Amino acid sequence: MTKILTMVAQRLALGLLTLFVVSLIIFLGIELLPGDLTEAVLGQSATPETVAAFRRELGLDLPPHTRYIEWLGGVLQGDFGKSLANEREISELIGVRFANTLFLAAIAAVISVPLAVTLGVLAALYRNSFFDRSINVVTLSSISFPEFFVAYILILFLAVNANIFPSISNVSADLALWERVYRVMLPALTLTLVVVAHMMRMTRASIINLLASPYIEMANLKGLSRSRIIVHHALPNALAPIINVIVINLAYLVVGVVIVEVVFVYPGLGQLFVDSVIKRDVPVVQASCLIFAATYILLNLTADVLSILSNPRLLHPK
């Protein structure tokens, strides 16, 4: 048991270290790259006085390490500084939007995870049948489609032709839960289609991998039905890789929302991020970048830890 705890602790420490290095890159990367923030914002025709005033206001005249420590200290207390574009507190801007993004990702996860596991189990159960083959072709193609293609096809069929869901998902804080779910349905479905393929294929592969093992043959010889063998005997043992791939896909969901949010004009963090990149609003870009990267790293870390914890050889050492 101590061995497993040390392994988890090691992973956590490594994750924290990665986060620290990433925050350094996000902050200092901007320093090291050619091109000056002042020039980017004010344009090349700015007078030396305005440039100096601007630099003083942002604290750009201080040495980098001082500014990094101040910035990191602020971030840890939830203070990301002010936006260059509209002078508002970034934490205010980001708070609601990040909650919206998480909401969208959560809805997509609630739909896609059970769907992917069920389809994977069914494909393993009816291996080599027409169902298995057609699902294989469909998932292979959906992996190769750009997100916006899937999104616009859904808009065309479900919003324009059939008029079931709204094509623009504008949500606000005062909406009731069901109304919110209804409005984010199309973006959630798009995300589902994008991630379900990978999860489903992994579920199928890890179950089929197990089907050759002796204890499955034993169950077969006992005369158990195919569905019972797969659901009761193979699935529990295939859970570790399945959980791992699910969490990795959840990490992808949080990042993949960027494009989907733009298509559906959804007021999430991804939309804000893209807008700020276009406006070159560096403090907002840094803040959103840090939040996205942190979410991604934390979810990948969770996948690592879960796969350690769900490994029976590590859990019950001899």
Q: Which residues would be at the binding site for another protein (CB under 8 A)?
A: 18, 21-22, 25-26, 29-30, 33-35, 37, 40, 127-128, 140-141, 143-149, 152-153, 155-156, 159-161, 167, 208, 255, 258-259, 262-263, 273-274, 276-278, 280, 282, 285-286, 289, 292-293, 296-297, 300
Compute the Cα dihedral for 133, 134, 139, 145 and give only its sign.
positive
Smallest distance from another protein to CB 66, Å: 21
Smallest distance from another protein to CB 11, Å: 13
In the complex with another protein, which residue's Cβ is closer, 22 or 314? 22
Q: Do the beta carbons of residue 295 and residue 250 sit within 8 Å?
A: no
Q: Which amino acid is at 184?
A: V
In the complex with another protein, which residue's Cβ is closer, 55 or 127? 127
Smallest distance from another protein to CB 222, Å: 26
Smallest distance from another protein to CB 26, Å: 7
- Candidates 187, 148, 139, 145; CA nearest to 165 is 187
Tokens 């959906």 belong to residue: 142
In the complex with another protein, which residue's Cβ is closer, 2 or 163? 163
In the complex with another protein, which residue's Cβ is closer, 171 or 281? 281
Smallest distance from another protein to CB 99, Å: 19
In the complex with another protein, which residue's Cβ is closer, 115 or 205? 205
In the complex with another protein, which residue's Cβ is closer, 176 or 278? 278
Q: Which amino acid is at 218?
A: M
Tokens 């489903």 belong to residue: 200
In the complex with another protein, which residue's Cβ is closer, 211 or 314? 211
Smallest distance from another protein to CB 236, Å: 22
Smallest distance from another protein to CB 167, Å: 6
